Structure 1
Amino acid sequence: MEEALKLKKATYHLYTFTISKLISSFGAQVYAFAISFYILQLTGSATSFATNLVCNILPRVLAAPFSGYIADRYSRKSIAITSQVITTLAIGGLLTVSLTYGLSLIAIYTTTSILSLTSLFSGVAFTSSITGLVDQARIQKAMSLNQMALSFAAIGSPAVGGLLYGAVSMPVFLIMYMVASSFAIILEATMNFKLFAKRKQSVEGEKKEKMWQSIKAGISYLKTQTVFMTIIWISLLINFLMGAFEVGYSFILIEKLQMESQHFGLTQGAFAVGMFLFSIYFSMRKEVKFPLLVSKRGIFAMAAIMGAIAIPLMVSLSYASTFIYYIVLMFGFGSMMIIVNTPIQVMMQKRIDDDYKGRVFSILEMMAMGLMPLGMIIYGFLYDYLPAQWILLSSAAVLIGVVLILGRPSVIQKAHPDLSKKPSVDTCVRGIVIL
């Protein structure tokens, strides 16, 4: 009877968690869209716009290790709710400033930095709590629903942001964001983060461990998990190389191919649609048996798509053909993002000790984002001086090489020993994918 009640509560968590993430993600992305427009209209300066982006990324990178320590040492439910409350208060503060003095860049930058930090702490707390919120059998479904919420927000936020920005004043917009954030707080308050948790936080003396000792312990734990260390290094290098895509895609379509803004927006929408549909797929299918292998294949496909972005620069296509071509590519790229991320996230949720999840996921966040700004700066410089097609093709080749080396057969075998028990599958895998 008790187990049935826990499963019923877990089902409730699946949907409250998804709705809460949808509200917070949608609100954050609509806010980012509107504020970006406001900054450009206010200043007309790309530097001011870029500064706001830095205020969104830099605090996350710097605070990531501390967020993991806090998530592993204190109540994750309290962290998630407190983060959402601070988000609401920060928006309230910006609203007060706008009504009293008028919006200023300093107020916007400060709010963006605060929201970046609350998003980090809330995200790490929630990610670390998945195995406490839902039963083992539905972890993949939970991760897929989370991705679905993020994808839906990515699809809808530009349209909603554009509509609201043109229809209502900034104070009204901020009030709407505060109301939505308050609703997310209420939902999170009804959730039991310890339903299936296996944390050992009650051990005497565990909480007395100093912060740096705790972070060091998390790193030491990771070092014993060679497969996860491989995943982290692959993530670090992928995110650096993806600078070629992040910078090059917009540069090629807008500057080189002169694509109209509405058509460019539709190609980006296709990316979010791909993520959304494949999130639905993963939420319904059975759990992936060999996640690292599936993710490796997905990265190869992403590298191929990255290289394919350069083809219209080398082969003459009509405007309509180019537009359709990039719609298909971006749909495929969004799909591959889910195929790469979801199986790995499920594997990490199941294999990482509950008491280390906060630190492990925060280290992963820091490593994944750490080289993104550097990658964007370097690739921005390269695109100004070198042919775009060769930058994309060479980056795609390097990405394939990175995965072939770091995701070599011995690493895949270590992550999934069962592969050796299935000769036919293993032969196929070794012949086609790994080698």
Structure 2
Amino acid sequence: MENKSIWRNKDFILLFTGGFVSRIGSGIHNIALVWFVLELTGSGTTTGILLALSTLPAVLIGPFGGLIADRVNRKLLIVGNDFLRGGIVLILGWAIYSGQTSFFLLGFATVLISISGAFFNPAVSAVFPNLVRPENLEKANSLENISMNFTQIIGAAAGGILIGTLGIAGAFFFNGISFILSGISELFIDIPPISQEADTKESFIADFKFGINFLTDRRELLGLFIIFLFLNFLFGGLFSVGLPYIYNQILEINEMLFGLAKSTFPVGAILGSILINYIAIKNNIKFLGKTLTAQSSLLVLMGLPLSYYGLNNLSVMNIYIILTVLLVLLGILNAMANIPIITIFQKMIPDNLRGRVFGLLGTFTQGLTPISMGLMGILFDHISPSILFIVSGVLAVLISYSIIHLSEFDSLNSSMKEPALKQELI
């Protein structure tokens, strides 16, 4: 690996730009998919089922995808899955254009795309440390985070424009082409082979257990993993279910203001991803703990204008502006917390285990999301949103604060200075 600026790193730039293009296509695809299903069926339940189909396969297959990412040529896995998803979406676009589609076909294609993503995502996360030097890894993750949030904004806006001008089929064709272009760019990436001489002879079950054992043997990593899952559980339901409920049922704002509110968090995340590059971080763990604590505190602040006093003394627009400002700040702090977390795991997990551990991370995180959404949906029907945000914020603050003061996490900071050694199966 050459000692060069990240912007002169051909392999990173190719992976970054390919992912940028395909994520814009995916953002357009997601809007077009929901819109088309609503037009086709007029059923919110059916739409919900289709969205579940887009996440559940990734949850169930995530660990297996991570194992594959540690066993096979990662370049082949990345390029092949981009081409596969591109082909599936193009076929789906043609079916819609020719009037030969059905809910079954949409569901089947959605499941295949989700399965493909379960192999693609761990491979990309695992390959990042192979493409950039350790001192550039946090910057690379920062750029990736900027790309993910920026493409959310572009994809949402472009999706509406494309559907209005080219129709649903045109939006699907655009996404299919974006996957193909991403795959073509990735053909020119040089990815080093995985250091796993003995591992390929072992069973997948042994590999899976070894990935879990690696986490359980590293108590500090496991603790960080559990905290990460808990905070995702709290934030996932509050933002996916709680905020739409507040905007629609309590504030009763129009669709345009709701759309604007949805874009504020990724805007903040982009700002946070940029800002973190200009902060001299001496202690990654302390910085992470303080950032997560500050982020969690904002949940408490979000609950205050939604209280009985706030709703009776503030105008709807004042509450909307307060929530908008807090969402931007949350986006900034979320990015500044997520980037160090990802960097810590990438630096401390050996190359031959990285795929399966990231597969486990993705599986548990995505697996808890539907549970969080369902639970918060029930709670918001029976408990004041103000109480839910304040109580969740207090719990999140207590958990985040533990990172700063528990001695178990101190070893992570020093361990990150040394490269993770290959782990052998016993």
Corresponding residue number in structure 2 for 1:200: 195
- The amino acid that maps onto 2:25 is G
Supply the distance in 1 between the matched residues of 2:162 and 2:2 (Cα, whole angstroms). 46
Shift in alpha-carbon separation, 1:416–1:9, aligned structure 2, 3 A: closer
Corresponding residue number in structure 2 for 1:23: 21
Q: Deviations over 1:407-428 (max 9, x none)?
A: 642123232359xxxxxxxxxx
Shift in alpha-carbon separation, 1:385–1:319, aligned structure 2, 3 A: closer
Match among 386, 393, 401 for residue 390 of structure 2:
393
How far residue 245 of structure 1 moved from its aligned partner, in angstroms, is 3.2
- The amino acid that maps onto 1:95 is G
Corresponding residue number in structure 1 for 2:420: none
Q: Deviations over 1:53-82 (max 9, x none)?
A: 211111111011101110001111111011
- 2:246 equivalent to 1:252: yes
Corresponding residue number in structure 2 for 1:422: none
Corresponding residue number in structure 1 for 2:183: 185
Supply the distance in 2 between the matched residues of 1:97 and 1:290 (Cα, whole angstroms). 54
Corresponding residue number in structure 2 for 1:105: 103
How far residue 256 of structure 1 moved from its aligned partner, in angstroms, is 0.4
- 2:42 equivalent to 1:49: no
Q: Is the 8 A contact 1:14 1:134 kept in 2?
A: yes
Supply the distance in 2 between the matched residues of 1:98 and 1:79 (Cα, whole angstroms). 28
How far residue 232 of structure 1 moved from its aligned partner, in angstroms, is 1.4
Supply the distance in 2 between the matched residues of 1:104 and 1:3 (Cα, whole angstroms). 51
How far residue 19 of structure 1 moved from its aligned partner, in angstroms, is 0.9
Structure 1, 7-16 or 388-397: larger mean CA deviation: 7-16
Corresponding residue number in structure 1 for 2:301: 308
- 2:285 equivalent to 1:285: no
Q: Is the 8 A contact 1:253 1:264 kept in 2?
A: yes
Q: Is the 8 A contact 2:285 2:403 kept in 1?
A: no
Corresponding residue number in structure 1 for 2:356: 359
Which aligned pairs between 1:157-306 and structure 2 lie closer than 5 A? 157-194=155-192, 199-201=194-196, 203=197, 205-242=198-235, 243-282=237-276, 284-285=277-278, 288-306=281-299
Supply the distance in 1 between the matched residues of 2:320 and 2:239 (Cα, whole angstroms). 17
How far residue 406 of structure 1 moved from its aligned partner, in angstroms, is 6.6
TM-score of the superposed pair, with normalisation by structure 1: 0.89
How far residue 171 of structure 1 moved from its aligned partner, in angstroms, is 2.4
Shift in alpha-carbon separation, 1:236–1:95, aligned structure 2, 3 A: same
How far residue 17 of structure 1 moved from its aligned partner, in angstroms, is 1.9
Corresponding residue number in structure 2 for 1:344: 341
Shift in alpha-carbon separation, 1:175–1:246, aligned structure 2, 3 A: closer
Supply the distance in 1 between the matched residues of 2:135 and 2:401 (Cα, whole angstroms). 31
Q: Is the 8 A contact 1:232 1:368 kept in 2?
A: no
Shift in alpha-carbon separation, 1:22–1:417, aligned structure 2, 3 A: closer
Corresponding residue number in structure 1 for 2:379: 382
Q: Deviations over 1:61-109 (max 9, x none)?
A: 1011101110001111111011101101111221343244433221222
- 2:369 equivalent to 1:372: yes
Q: Deviations over 1:372-411 (max 9, x none)?
A: 1111111101111121211221121222233345764212
How far residue 28 of structure 1 moved from its aligned partner, in angstroms, is 0.8
Q: Is the 8 A contact 2:163 2:170 kept in 1?
A: no
Supply the distance in 2 between the matched residues of 1:170 and 1:253 (Cα, whole angstroms). 28
- 2:407 equivalent to 1:410: yes
How far residue 358 of structure 1 moved from its aligned partner, in angstroms, is 0.4
Supply the distance in 2 between the matched residues of 1:126 and 1:14 (Cα, whole angstroms). 11
> What is the number of residues matched between the two proteins?
410
SS of residue paired to 1:313: coil
- The amino acid that maps onto 2:240 is E
Q: Deviations over 1:162-195 (max 9, x none)?
A: 011111122222222222211101111110111x
- The amino acid that maps onto 2:76 is S
Q: Is the 8 A contact 1:245 1:306 kept in 2?
A: no
Supply the distance in 2 between the matched residues of 1:138 and 1:406 (Cα, whole angstroms). 24
- Structure 1 gap segments, 5+ residues each: 419-435
Structure 1, 13-22 or 126-135: larger mean CA deviation: 13-22
Structure 1, 111-120 or 340-349: larger mean CA deviation: 111-120
Q: Is the 8 A contact 1:240 1:375 kept in 2?
A: yes
Supply the distance in 2 between the matched residues of 1:73 and 1:10 (Cα, whole angstroms). 29
Q: Is the 8 A contact 2:289 2:403 kept in 1?
A: no
Q: Deviations over 1:198-237 (max 9, x none)?
A: x422x2x431111111111111111222221012111221
SS of residue paired to 2:201: coil
- Structure 2 gap segments, 5+ residues each: 416-426
Corresponding residue number in structure 2 for 1:426: none
TM-score of the superposed pair, with normalisation by structure 2: 0.91
How far residue 273 of structure 1 moved from its aligned partner, in angstroms, is 0.8
Supply the distance in 1 between the matched residues of 2:116 and 2:287 (Cα, whole angstroms). 32
Supply the distance in 2 between the matched residues of 1:7 and 1:59 (Cα, whole angstroms). 38
